[in-house]
Structures are given as C-alpha cells and as structure tokens.
Amino acid sequence: MGWEALEQAVRGCTRCALHATRTQAVFGVGDRLARWMIIGEAPGAEEDRQGEPFVGRAGQLLNAMLQAAGLSREQVFIANVLKCRPPGNRDPKSEETQACLSYLYRQIELIDPVVILCVGRIAAQTLLRTDAPIGKLRGMLHHIARRPAIVTYHPAYLLRSPAEKRKSWADLVLAMRTFEEYSGSRP
C-alpha cells in the first residue's frame, strides 16, 4: 500500500470503536522522506479537531526540542500509534492499538527513517512490547521495525514535570549520536 491508499485507509478506518467518536483520523504529518520519525501515543482533543499530531502546548515543546536538535518540524515525520482520539484522552485499549499498528508500521516502512524518537510511555511500551516503566526504557538504544529507536518523555509530561527536561535532552543527544552513527551506513 502506497501513501495515498494508506492515508485513505486510515481516514476511512472502522477497525475499532474509536472511529465512531473521532472528528477525523490523524494520519501523521511531515516529510515523507524524513530521516527522523517521531512517534507518540494518540491524538488529543486539539489534534482530533485539527487532524495533525502534536499541536498545542505539547506540540510547541516538541518543536522546541526538535529545534534544539537542529531539526524543524518540516524535516521529520510525526505520527501516533493510534490514529483516532480515545474519549477523554484515556489510555488506549490494547484492541485499539492492535487495530492501528499495521498503519504505523507501514508508515515506518514507507519513510524508512534512520532513527525513531518514541515519545511517551504508551508509545514506548506498545512499540517495544513491554510493560517496563519509561524511566527504564529511556537512555538506551532500542529497535522498532529493525530501525534504531530512542525513548523519551512525552512533551505533555515535560510540561507538568519541567525538572525532567534535562533527562529528555540527554535522550535527544543520544538520538542525535545514533542518527550520526546509522546515517553513515545509509544512502
């Protein structure tokens, strides 16, 4: 499935009950040839309304984090594990994440990023197939769909816990080093 068919499939998806409560599916945004991919958990209310991941205050912080790493929002591809908003921003149910995962993995295949930055506990635990706390997952190299991946805190969490920004910066530094190491082996 190419980009157009994939986007149409996501926008018309009825694989789980979330389709009945969404305003629109949130496919993802950014450079489809990006060398960095950012993966979060699920759309929130504003993302559901605008149809774009990471908008609002958390999106502004993510943009600042990317800028500190020498990147702009337009240079990366940003997606979520879930393409539809869970009501009340509750944690996704396992059947909901399972219904969406094939879409995300196809996005990863099409983009073929050098590095994946996995933001937040839900995204990390889902993609790494673990229940380990995020504090145990960050600070080390993982692989998602055979690509190097770094786990960090979600920007919304950092807004509530600004003292953790230092740890998130260390994760970004690790992601930049990983990118440098792996990009030398790619065309």
The Cα–Cα gap between 7 and 177 comes to 32
Average pLDDT along the chain, 187 residues, taken 10 residues at a time? 95 93 94 96 91 92 93 96 92 93 97 97 96 96 96 96 95 96 70
Query: What are the contacts of 4-7 at 24+ separation with CB within 8 A?
Result: 6/103, 6/106, 6/107, 6/110
The Cα–Cα gap between 109 and 86 comes to 26
Q: 92: which residues sit within 8 A by CB, 6+ positions away?
A: 41, 42, 81, 82, 86, 122, 126
In degrees, to the nearest 5, what angle opens at C-alpha 80 toward C-alphas 103 and 152?
130
**Domain regions of the chain by residue span:** 3-181
Look up the CATH superfamily of 3-181. Uracil-DNA glycosylase-like domain (3.40.470.10)
Q: Which amino acid is located at 108 in the chain?
A: I
Q: What is the pLDDT of residue 185?
A: 54
The Cα–Cα gap between 161 and 167 comes to 11
Q: Which amino acid is located at 184 in the chain?
A: G
- 108 phi and psi, to 5 degrees? -60, -45
Q: Tokens representing 22?
A: 């969404």
Q: What is the pLDDT of residue 187?
A: 43
Q: What is the pLDDT of residue 163?
A: 94
